Amino acid sequence: MILAIAMGAAAGVISGLLGVGGGILFVPALTLVLSLSQVRAEATSLLAIIPVALVGAARQYRYGNVRLRDGAVIGALSALGVLGGVALANVLPERALKLGFAVVSLAVAAQFVRRFFRARNTMGGDAQSR
């Protein structure tokens, strides 16, 4: 239980620090540390995302960065996709889900590697170019 709390807090720190969503961290934390199966870790990660997104959205709203109507429309119209995705996650073999998640993890990793080299180039060269 203490491990779960620590994992959650650590995932939150990285999430706030780097601006990534919680899910990319919650899912491996739930499989590796709390030994859930891939589909159960994904399902449980979704629940864990709710408070994080709520607090994050409220903060961003105060800063004037949320276009509430667009956000609500995207959210409401996501339902069909969500149901399809959840149904798929429940019929696909565990192995396929794991491989899919590995691809998503690598894509996010590539984003950070690009960001690192862009930041280095900016510092070394024209500081205005960002």
d(CA 56, CA 63): 11
Task: For the segment 52-91, give every residue that binds other proteins (CB under 8 A).
Answer: 52-57, 59-61, 63, 65-90
Q: How far is the CB of 51 from other proteins (least distance, A)?
A: 5
Q: Nearest CA to 35 among 43, 47, 27, 25? A: 27
Q: Which is nearer to other proteins, 75 or 93 (CB)?
A: 75
121 binds other proteins (CB under 8 A): no
Q: How far apart are CA 39 and CA 92, in angstroms?
A: 9
Among 93, 104, 126, 128, binds other proteins (CB under 8 A): 104
Judged by CB under 8 A, the residue of 93, 102, 125, 130 near other proteins is 102
Residues 6+ apart with CB under 8 A from 8: 26, 29, 48
Residues 30-59 that bind other proteins (CB under 8 A): 30, 32, 34, 36, 39-57, 59
For residue 93, the minimal CB distance to other proteins (Å) is 13
Q: Which parts of 4-33 interact with other proteins (CB under 8 A)?
A: 4-24, 26-30, 32
**Residue 120 makes contact with other proteins by CB under 8 A:** yes
DSSP string covering 14-78 = HHHHHT--SHHHHHHIIIIIS---HHHHHHHHHHHHHHHHHHHHHHHHHTT---HHHHHHHHHTT
